[in-house]
Structure 1
Amino acid sequence: METTVINGAWKGHLGRGLAPRELDYLLSAAQGMTAKEIARVFGIAPGTVVKRLSNAMFKLGVSRQTAMIAEAMRRQIISPVCLVLATLIAMHSMFDGDAMRRDRRVPERRVAQVRLVKRAEAYEQTV
């Protein structure tokens, strides 16, 4: 059974290679938090966070935190929650396309300028 963990604007999936705490800290790192900030939130030592993130990087086969986040996204271990919202909006537009479509009107000022230019050209030709 696969469990979903939501932390801020990120969603993570347990059972895809990372331990629960590694996933929690990875989601916090994906939000841009430092090890000290993550440690403060979870009430642990910063060294523990660094060790767990190092373990996660080893399991994912990378050596940097940004690469860890990218690899976790590639393996679909984590994903931004905003993707879910974008998917819902896209699905809504597929089923009800007219409600979300906005027709643009031609600006009247541009049409008036074209008419004036044409009148001026016609006047120059007659004179």
Structure 2
Amino acid sequence: MDTIQIDGWQGRLGQGLAPRQLLATIYAAKDMTMKEIARCMDCAPSTAKKTLDRARFNLSEDDRPIRTVRGLCLEAVKRGIIAPLMVALLVGGEHSQIRPIRRPDAPRQQTLTRVKRVDEVELVA
């Protein structure tokens, strides 16, 4: 299966999105603006917006349309079309033993200090 890798993100071709739509979706998942996406794809911002709109339409279902670019990115991650490269390597690559985070055996201690404010001072003679 063909993939596209861009700056820590991996996208899979043949999963419902055309190559340019997949490219635009990956850039959107990287939190790029429409102008930045257009610059990376060598097109006008309106073309990048239309490409993302077509991608939203392709991944929408009849009873649940995708209304935003954020929703498009979430749906693409949910379906496994795009993924951060580290997750893709863990899921698709060799499974090495991941060590759990070790916590200290002794519980943490908490120190409380109380300060009392004195408003009036009495003189005793």
Normalised by the length of structure 1, the TM-score is 0.68
Q: Confirm or deny that 1:82 pairs with 2:86.
A: yes
| Alignment partner, residue 68 of structure 1 | 72
- Decide whether aligned partners of structure 1 residues 59 and 84 sit closer, same or farther in structure 2, where only a CA change above 3 A counts: closer
- Which structure 2 residues correspond to residues 86-105 of structure 1 after superposition, within 5 A? 91-93=95-97, 104=104
User: Unaligned regions of 5+ residues in structure 1, if any?
Assistant: 111-127
Map 1:3-18; keep pairs closer than 5 Å: 3-18=2-17
1:91 Cα offset (Å): 3.5
How far apart are residue 32 of structure 1 and its match?
0.4
Distance 1:92 1:100, change over 3 A: farther
Q: How many residues align?
A: 102
Equivalent residue number for residue 56 of structure 2: 57
Q: Where is the helix percentage greater, Structure 1 or Structure 2? A: 1
Give the % identical residues: 37
Gaps of at least 5 residues in structure 2 are: 61-65, 109-125
Task: Return closer, same or farther for 1:106/1:31 CA change in 2, 3 Å cut-off.
Answer: same
| Residue number in structure 2 paired with 1:44 | 43
| Structure 1 segments (4+ residues) deviating >3 Å | 84-88, 99-107
- Root mean square deviation, CA, Å: 2.7
CA distance in 2, matches of 1:38, 1:4: 19
